Amino acid sequence: MWAKYGKIFTDNMSAEDKTAHPNPTTNRYAGLLERMTKQGLRLAVCNVTLRAYLQIIAKEAGVEEDAVRKELVSNVIGNAVVVPAGVIAVTRAQERGYALVSIG
């Protein structure tokens, strides 16, 4: 998805100083996440964030939101699943003994 929509992703990321901290041009964590899912890492994609990005992508690329959603969801990393809200999924997972580790 980075090859196709990378510029849209980076144009919509926030960084205080994009000169000192430029946005990435690829998903630099993709390989690591793929390897870690094979070791038991479980990934969740926040539907709130997904919806925001698919609306931006659909508008900027001139395509239907449903088509973008299907494309993004079918290309998630590893075993990732889309959850209604990331913050709720994290809270529920932590209640069951999981830990949150943010890498991006």
The pLDDT assigned to 56 comes to 94
Residue 79 domain flag: yes
Residue type for position 15: A
Taking the whole predicted model, whether its pTM rises above 0.85 is answered as no
Residue 43 domain flag: yes
Q: What does DSSP assign to residue 79?
A: T
Helical H runs in 41-80?
Answer: 47-61, 65-74
Residue 19 domain flag: no
- Note down the domain range covering 76: 2-11+24-95
Residue 39 domain flag: yes
How big is the chain by its Cα radius of gyration, in Å?
15
pLDDT, tens digit, for every residue of 5-56?
888 887 877 666 667 767 777 788 888 988 999 998 888 899 999 999 999 9
Residue 102 domain flag: no
- When divided into structural domains, the chain yields a total of 1
The pLDDT assigned to 65 comes to 93
Residues in contact with 82: Cβ distance below 8 Å, sequence separation at least 6, in sequence order: 44, 45, 47, 50, 73, 76
Query: What backbone phi and psi angles, to 5 degrees, belong to 79?
Result: -100, 20
